[in-house]
Structure 1
C-alpha cells in the first residue's frame, strides 16, 4: 500500500475517530490515534522537505538555463538575426525556439520568484536601523528604499511570462 493511501486512510480514520470521540473514550485509544497521526505527519513533512529541496535544485538549474538562453537571444538579436518559425535558416529557427523556451510560464514564474526573494532579502538587510525622521534624514531615505525594494519583489511575483 502506498504512503499516500496510508495517509488518506489515516486522515479518514482520524476524522471518524474525532466524530465518535466522547468522554467515555479510553485515553489510550486517543493516545494511539494521536501517535499514528503524528508519525504520518512526520513522514509527510520529511517527504515535503525532500521534494522542496529537489524543486529548488531544479529551479536553480532552470534559472541558469534561462539566463544562458536569454544571453543567446540577445546576442542573436543584436547581430540582426530575426526569429522565424520553421525556416531553413538554422540561426533564425534557433532564435525562435529560444524565445519560445523563455516564454514558458512555469520557468518565468520561478525566475520571477527567485528575483523577488533576492529583492526582499536586500530590502530586509538594507537598512536594519531604520527609524523615524524627516525628508532629509538618511534613515527615512533608507525606509523609502526598503519599501521600494519590497514593492519590486511583489511586482516580480506577479510576472508569469517574459
Structure 2
C-alpha cells in the first residue's frame, strides 16, 4: 500500500500566527504519520499489529538537516511509527527546495510515501465485494461478450485467487 499524505504548514501568511509559533519539521513529519491525513482509508484494527514496511518523507522548504535528524529521533523515541521486525526501522527523508517559479505561502510542506501492512484489510474488503457480485452474477454480461470469456469465466476466478 502506498499512502501519501501531504501536509502544508502556513507560518508566513499572518504575522500573528508566525509570532505565536512556527511550524517545525517535527510538526510536519508527525502530521504525515496521522491516519486522518492518509489518502487510503483502511479500518483501524486494534487487535492486529499492522506496521510500516517502508516510509519516505519528502520535505520541501526552509529546512535545516539537523531539524530532520532531531525529528527522526523524537519519532523513534515516541514510537509514532511501528515497523516490520525483519526490516530496517527507519524513515527515509529527502529534502527539496521551493520552486522559484511557484509562489507558495507555506514555509514547510511534506509528502509521505509509505508501504503499510494494513492494505491487506482493503484487499479483503475488495474480495468480499467481488464474491457478492460473482454470486449474483452481476455485471458479467460485458465479460461474456469478449472472446476470452465466451466459454467460461474461470479466468476471473483464477484472478481472484492471485
* TM-score relative to the length of structure 1: 0.28
Higher helix share: 1
* TM-score relative to the length of structure 2: 0.28
Q: Compare relative contact order (CA 8 Å, sep 6+) and give the higher one, 1 or 2.
A: 2
Higher strand share: 2
Q: Radius of gyration: which is bigger? A: 1
